[in-house]
Structure 1
Amino acid sequence: MESRLSATDLKTTPLHALHLELGGRMVPFAGYSMPVQFPAGLIAEHRQTREAAGLFDVSHMGQLRLEGPDAAAAFETLVPVDVIGLGVDKQRYGLLLTDEGTIVDDLMMVNRGDHLFVIVNGACKDGDLALIQQRIGSRCKVVPMFDRGLLALQGPKAVDAVKRLVPGVEQLVFMTGGAFTWEGSDLYITRSGYTGEDGFEISVAADRAEAFARALLDQPEVKPIGLGARNSLRLEAGLCLYGNDIDTTTTPVEAALNWAMQKVRRTGGARAGGFPGADKVLAQLDGTQPVARKRVGLIALERVPVREHTELQDADGRKVGEVTSGLLGPTIDKPVAMAYVDVAHAAPGTRLNAIVRGKAVPMEIAPMPFVPQRYHRG
């Protein structure tokens, strides 16, 4: 549906004018006009992020505050995640679930001390806001901050660029955050991102986002990066894209996201369960309700990119799964993919055939990430 929106129907981020100035090729994405690439092109932008630092505009994503003394306990009723035990300025990945235990959205949350700071996906943010307000709006104040800018600076040299502008930010470690200022503007910065590289996500007032982005782009390590390289980077890092690899047809266990559900929410004790779809999710976790399919990684054994919705077959020509994301990985220099396959065919090393334009392309199930993650854990 998004591709049929006219340019006048699309929303813009605070960096829209800067994207045009930099030669960004704009496309509809999550209801916004967003740059899919800049003149250097996807491969150069991908390598720039792996080797130095790339600046991404992720302002289309939804930023929320959950305020009040009951906010953490209230939010814990919506996600299979330890929210109450999250330390101040600590960040955690989470999942909003349906009553059937399938995934409404994936998100990031930070305990800011006096409130929870939550970042949800752009295409889901209005629905997420409505769901959160409906379910827990009586227990905490739900404040959308959809007009704020959000920048992601990713890559091994990201820290060098940011610390010149915001001294002290280098002391953060992966999945922690802090409040900072830049030229009188309040920033909230987390050491996180969605590329598999070290990096930072920076929440900034809309009217200061362009100035801060320009200051980052003035650093010698930094170049602008579009949606195309953002997708290839996250796929090489084995990270799910909502709407492709996870959605309301997939459960966390099918999606191999067991690690995102902490023990305190899974086994025994007063805080186990109590989230939407808990009976189904917990039964899948302990094996009393076996899952029929699993999310896996695949590497093609021929140099043929395998795209989403491609059918996967076993050696006898039976359909055993479907690709959800796929492309030629620029760093690994091989076609890589994610897919859901029957559990019987999900073991690493299993050979399957992807049917690309009627031709069988041999693929092998491989562990993810395809490229080693390089988060700064201190």
Structure 2
Amino acid sequence: MILHQLIDYDTLRIIWWALIGVLLVGFAVTDGFDLGSGILLPFAARTDLERRVVINSVGPVWEGNQVWLILGGGAIFAAWPQLYAVSFSGFYLAMFVILTALILRPVAFKFRSKREEPQWRARWDWVLFFSGFVPALICGVAVGNVLQGVPFRFATDMHIHYDGSFFALLNPFALLCGLVSVAMMVAHGAAWLQLKTAGPVAERARLYGSVAAVAGIVLYALAGVWMASAIGGYRITSAAQMTGPSNPLLKTVELHAGAWLANYAAHPWTMAAPAAGFAGLLGALAGLLLRRPVLALLAAALGIAGIILSVGASMFPFILPSSIDPRASLTVWDASSSHLTLFIMLVVTAIFIPIIVAYTTWVYHVLWGKVDEEAIREESGHAY
């Protein structure tokens, strides 16, 4: 027997659908608190020393957190090539904006302290705010557009045509999803700052984070009601070819009101995802109000995971529906790489993901503890 046939093709597709979710959650949870800290920087920290404390709380770890973004992009490219082709071409300008913000962040970290002029440093502080706010907002906007369907189609030769525009992405429902993303990142960043800082910075972060947690709960609930009442979902009306070739045009799909909620009725255990979203944000709010930073940080991470996974649970088996040609919608069953490719990737992932998790855990263990203002003063030549 050929080794890769030990796992069925349809099973591998499900595994890689789940792994993409894990990688997206990994990026949002690990990078979420430093994006949130960047958003909070001009507000939670008011003096130059306080802002240096905030920056140094995330400075040693933010680069490592980017590993999950790289892994996610690489996995989509290799495991779901059609998804990569459609999303990275259709959302090109949006992704360019995100990458611009992420590129400016290390520049701001390095350049901010090169000069002591207050105006110079203030400008770079707002760059750090921009580099936190924009990725959080645009990622949420992208999710909102995916839930509504993306305007793409396939020609008879399988050439992809995207008929949308950047500004069309900024529709009301997508912007609402973007605000949900910003709120959960700010709550996560506030929990991190409460854990890593002390004094006025921690107290201000606690206040802003509590407001963000409440806003996240309300906005997430509003998005759910909006999706249930006004956003039509997609449903496969032909027999699903779970082990067939990756050709999206071999099925028939129709737009159906309430289809995105059908999975919750068919598989009640999937309700755990949105429940975790609400419970996590509530736990983050409780942890912030009670000054329990570890509880707040872990709960905020749970909330982020639950919100992201609730999108995947509601859409399954769709991963990118088409609003102009539903038949072209990409699903778990018709957008993946070959059986052999998925198996080889799974073996590699099984080896390297535990190494990455172990190394990341060790780094956070070494860097555990609060960032002290006095230490920043004494190490002015080494700290950010």
Class of the TM-score when normalised by the shorter of the 2 chains: under 0.3
User: Which structure is higher in strand share?
Assistant: 1
Task: Give the TM-score taking structure 1 as reference length.
Answer: 0.21
Larger relative contact order, structure 1 or 2 (CA cutoff 8 Å, min sep 6) = 2
Bigger Rg, structure 1 or 2: 2
TM-score (normalised: structure 2): 0.21
- Between Structure 1 and Structure 2, which shows a larger proportion of helix residues? 2
